[in-house]
A and B are shown apart, each in its own frame.
Chain A
Amino acid sequence: MTGTGYAILAYGIALSMMLLYGLGMWRQRRKLLRRVQQANGAAAADAAAPPAREPDRASPAATLTAAE
């Protein structure tokens, strides 16, 4: 291999390593942000859902049970 070939090899490897490291971080960041969005979505859905109903004590059925 010539000197030019070695120089191209060195720059190619170095820049590829930097690029791969940067892309790896970018992918990881996207994955984490998606997880945060999913968690936020789930929390918002929980907040928007109606609360679990307690038995209506004034309903006819409750009155009847109490009278018994």
Chain B
Amino acid sequence: MTFPRFLAPLFWGATIALLAGALLMAVFYAPIEQTMGPVQKIFYLHMPVALTTFAACFVVFAARIGYLWQRQPVWDDLAQAGDQVSVLFASIVLITGMIWAKQAWGHWWTWSPRLTFSLILWLLYVVYLMVRQSIESPDRRALVCAVYGVIAFLDVPLVYFSTKLLPDVHPASIELAPEMRQTLLVWLLVAPIVCGGFIVARYRLFRLARATGAQS
């Protein structure tokens, strides 16, 4: 996959501008929520990043299925790129959630179903990175990771439906004023763009590393 040279700087320039705009909207445009106060503004970042994490996990899952089907290294590279970005975004979800919980609930962590499943998801994908490092043979590594990646994805529906199916302190839905909804929509646009950009950039890096023989 080759892109014109100007495309990457253009894409990242536009993404940073969009991110700055979304940040300004969260700070100045969205009103302060009456019950929770300024800490509620974490929600504009937390929720879109959480949904984007699911999308990144799905990319890993689809790429792993692709590898099991075709046994082509391109699928392995895509899955590996998706996995790294999944860990990054899942970490952001956990950290921002903990900070919000400290202010809203008075403690950093509680073993509610959603939080527990989210932590398990993060651990599954971190372990996946470690499993990857521990296998020498490239073919065997790709195959083991493919099976593991497919199984790890099973936790994503558990995270998503946990607040709907189980009693949970985590809010399932929040009433939003129009300005809040617009801010949230902008963040729902920005987070997948950043995530997609990272996955494509990392994938291209893995392809380049494979071409130069620098693959670990």
List residues of A whose CB falls within 8 A of some B CB.
Answer: 1-4, 6-7, 9-11, 13-15, 17-18, 21-22, 25, 28-29, 32-33, 35-36, 39
Cβ-based interface call for B208 (8 A): yes
Residues on the A chain within 8 Å of B46, using CB:
10
Chain A-chain B contacts (Cβ-Cβ < 8 Å), number: 75
Q: Please count how many residues in chain B sit with their CB below 8 Å of the partner chain's CB atoms.
A: 32
Segment from B156-164, B171-179, B194-202 that makes contact with A? B194-202
Q: Is B88 in contact with A10, judged by CB distance below 8 angstroms? A: no
Q: Are A25 and B201 in contact (CB under 8 A)?
A: yes
Of B32-40, B65-73, B115-123, B144-152, the segment with at least 4 beta carbons within 8 Å of chain A is B32-40
Assembly CA distance A15 to B26 (angstroms) = 14
Bound: A3/B37 CA distance, A: 7
Shortest Cβ gap from A42 to chain B (Å): 13
The residue on B at minimum CB distance from A25 is B201
Binding site for A on B (CB under 8 A): 12, 19, 23, 26, 36-42, 45-46, 49, 88, 91-92, 95-96, 99-100, 102-103, 194, 198, 201-202, 205, 208-209, 212, 214
Pairs A–B under 8 Å by Cβ, sample size 13: A3-B36, A3-B39, A6-B103, A7-B38, A11-B26, A13-B99, A14-B49, A14-B92, A17-B92, A18-B88, A21-B88, A25-B201, A33-B208
